[in-house]
Amino acid sequence: MRTNIVLDDELVAEAFKYSSLKSKRELVHMALQEFVDRKRRMNLMDLEGQIEFAEGYDYKKMREEQ
């Protein structure tokens, strides 16, 4: 999708300091991807207390095996 947007020059310059990206297009794409990923993680957090685990499920043991 093509679009024209006005970006804050100082914010863009600072964002480039924290990335190895070369273009504003790449920078905007990365920012959108991180935004979507963060929102997805937050939606998973909404499930807290709503999931029932199988009897005998031991998440600590599974972590130790890795």
Ranges 29-33, 39-43, 47-51, most confident: 29-33
pTM of the model: 0.62
- Ordered by start, the domain boundaries in the chain are 23-65
Question: Average pLDDT for residues 24-32, to the nearest whole number?
Answer: 96
Confidence grade of residue 6 (pLDDT, cut at 50, 70, 90): very high
CA distances (Å), 66 to each of 7, 12, 54, 55, 59, in order?
44, 40, 20, 21, 11
Contacts for 56 with CB less than 8 Å, ≥ 6 apart:
none
Question: Average pLDDT for residues 12-25, to the nearest whole number?
Answer: 95
